[in-house]
Amino acid sequence: MAAATNAVVLRQDAEFRFTVRFEGRTYGPWTVDEPPPTGGGAGPGPRDILAVAVGHCMSSTLYDCLRRARIRLRSMETTVSTDVGRNAAGRQRVQRIHVAIRAEPADEAERSLLDRCISVFEEYCTVSGAIRTGIPIDTTVNGAATRA
């Protein structure tokens, strides 16, 4: 059985710009938008948010492994980019996600422990694991399912 989640609610403000509320959470809303020329670029677009989700999950998962191994970091920085292209039907799709993490241990003597965490952390990342294997999406519009 899947764990319960809090809902994310998007309300249209104008054309492709939406305000996002995170129900049950204390932080404020986001503005999301498509980049120009489609939208106004008033906030991150879907590809950006996907990149954030993957990058944050992978960074947090690596950090959790390092924390459990009691490895202190001097710094960690993650850069995520996406490749977009057309699929066989001619529709644009995210075709690949590139994640580059730089994690520097505070003590070089812990480098071998860091390397151990690096070798296993991806197995525990919930977001990248789900994307790699594919996630079923159940969609309804006005209460009716869009696909059988």
- At 64, list the tokens: 């959790």
**Looking at the structure, do residues 125 and 99 belong to the same domain, yes or no?**
yes
**Looking at the structure, do residues 126 and 69 belong to the same domain, yes or no?**
yes
Find the helix or strand (DSSP H, E) in which 130 lies.
helix 126-133
| 107 pLDDT above the threshold of 60 | yes
**Looking at the structure, do residues 39 and 57 belong to the same domain, yes or no?**
no
Q: What is the CATH number of the domain that holds 86?
A: 3.30.300.20
| 2 pLDDT above the threshold of 70 | no
Does 139 reside within a domain? no
Does 146 reside within a domain? no
| pTM of the model as a whole | 0.87
| 6 pLDDT above the threshold of 80 | no
Query: What is the pLDDT averaged over residues 2-11?
Result: 79
> What residues make up the domain containing 129?
45-134
pLDDT on residue 87: 94
**Looking at the structure, do residues 56 and 122 belong to the same domain, yes or no?**
yes
**Looking at the structure, do residues 111 and 86 belong to the same domain, yes or no?**
yes
Find the helix or strand (DSSP H, E) in which 50 lies.
helix 46-68
Query: What is the pLDDT averaged over residues 47-69?
Result: 95
Structural domain count of the chain: 2
| 148 pLDDT above the threshold of 70 | no
Query: What is the pLDDT averaged over residues 27-36?
Result: 94
**Looking at the structure, do residues 34 and 16 belong to the same domain, yes or no?**
yes
Does 2 reside within a domain? no
Task: Count other C-beta atoms under 10 Å from residue 105's C-beta.
Answer: 18
**Looking at the structure, do residues 51 and 35 belong to the same domain, yes or no?**
no
Does 65 reside within a domain? yes
